[in-house]
């Protein structure tokens, strides 16, 4: 039996055109390709007992062993990084997170995260409830998802906002571009989500197990071989919008984890290949913990999202 910090994969089919680092990235979507390459350099990934090379092409039957180094407590350092701040007061700040920015430090992402930027910007004014690794972080967006994010500067605000998220009192509106012609025009997706039974870094819609998940959506615009949609996740499951649209049969444009086949087809039809999953947290609304009044914020689309919509029109 492998140790808890070791994963063993048997390659199911030969992949002559795929590099090993890309293959492992698809198996472990929450681990960056850079982190996978560092594990290879350290000798922590082996193929049939031999040190692995990133450029190796996986062959059927090969045994890949991955040794995951023990997690180090992340004590993030302040870093001066640009932040697109939509609102700030003594208790909280709301920002438009750029695509590609990791929210909090982790193995392989110790620097240039949102937490590093916040530690510099807020200079000692961040709620400690999230612990050393996640000060001020009430909720998160995937690395490649852009848009509205609220951060707590003190513990009472952190607790109050967390209660609103848990009580489904926070309104979250996403804009997404999905592969294919999404039908019907609007609807509700009620489908429980759990960890994928074999790909432990992925989520999946599951029968009879998993946590309740509910997303409402409506079509905003028909594009070439794609659809611009607005999605409202009423629950807050990991990868919820991405998994629910895959479940409908219309995975998000650029989502290599949940929509590889459909994205290849989209590129064949339109010559467009997205740099990331086209998902943007467009709007966030909640109650100000201090005054009780409703606060609502909208984040402008980033350039790559605008470009995707323009090219696919």
Q: What is the pLDDT of residue 290?
A: 94
Q: What is the pLDDT of residue 284?
A: 98
Cα angle 309-222-237, degrees, rounded to a multiple of 5? 75
* Mean pLDDT along residues 127-145: 85
Identify whether the C-beta of residue 273 lies closer than 8 Å to the C-beta of residue 264: no
DSSP 227: E
Kindly state the helix (H) or strand (E) to which residue 180 belongs, with its residue range.
none
Q: What is the pLDDT of residue 72?
A: 52
Identify whether the C-beta of residue 197 lies closer than 8 Å to the C-beta of residue 144: no
What pLDDT digit, counting tens, does each position of 147-167 carry?
999 999 998 999 899 889 888
What pLDDT digit, counting tens, does each position of 248-299 carry?
999 999 999 999 999 999 999 999 999 999 999 999 999 999 999 999 999 9
Distance CA 120, CA 72 (A): 22
Let me know if 142 is a catalytic residue.
yes
pTM of the model: 0.76
- Beta strand pairing call for 146-152 and 63-67: unpaired
Distance CA 309, CA 290 (A): 39
What pLDDT digit, counting tens, does each position of 88-135 carry?
999 999 999 999 999 988 777 878 999 999 999 998 788 887 677 788
Distance CA 186, CA 261 (A): 24
Of 44, 91, 142, 255, which is the active-site residue? Answer: 142
């Amino acid at each position: 039996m492998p140790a808890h910090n070791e994963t063993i994969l048997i390659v199911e089919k030969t992949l002559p055109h795929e590099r090993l680092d890309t293959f492992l990235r698809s198996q472990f979507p929450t681990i960056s390709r850079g982190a996978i390459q560092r594990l290879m350099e350290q000798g922590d990934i082996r193929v049939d007992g031999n040190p692995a090379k990133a450029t190796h092409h996986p062959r059927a039957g090969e045994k890949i062993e991955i040794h995951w180094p023990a997690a180090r407590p992340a004590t993030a350092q302040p870093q001066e990084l640009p932040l697109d701040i939509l609102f700030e007061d003594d208790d909280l700040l709301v920002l438009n997170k750029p695509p590609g920015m990791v929210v909090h430090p982790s193995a392989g992402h110790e620097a240039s995260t949102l937490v590093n930027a916040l530690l510099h910007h807020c200079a000692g004014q961040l709620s400690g409830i999230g612990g050393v690794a996640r000060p001020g972080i009430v909720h998160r967006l995937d690395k490649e998802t852009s848009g509205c994010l609220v951060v707590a500067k003190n513990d009472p605000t952190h607790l109050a906002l967390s209660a609103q998220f848990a009580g489904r009192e926070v309104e979250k509106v996403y804009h997404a571009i999905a592969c294919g012609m999404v039908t019907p025009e609007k609807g509700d997706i009620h489908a429980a989500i759990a960890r994928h039974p074999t790909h432990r870094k992925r989520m999946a819609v599951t029968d009879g197990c998993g946590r309740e998940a509910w997303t409402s959506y409506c079509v905003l615009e028909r594009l070439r071989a794609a659809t611009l949609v607005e999605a409202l996740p009423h629950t807050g499951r990991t990868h919820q919008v991405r998994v629910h649209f895959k479940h409908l049969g219309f995975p998000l444009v650029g989502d290599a984890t949940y929509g590889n086949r459909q994205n290849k087809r989209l590129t064949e039809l339109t010559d467009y290949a997205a740099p990331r999953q086209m998902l943007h947290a467009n709007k966030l609304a909640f109650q100000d913990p201090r005054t009780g009044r409703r606060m609502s914020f909208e984040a402008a689309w980033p350039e790559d999202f605008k470009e995707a919509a323009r090219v696919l029109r």
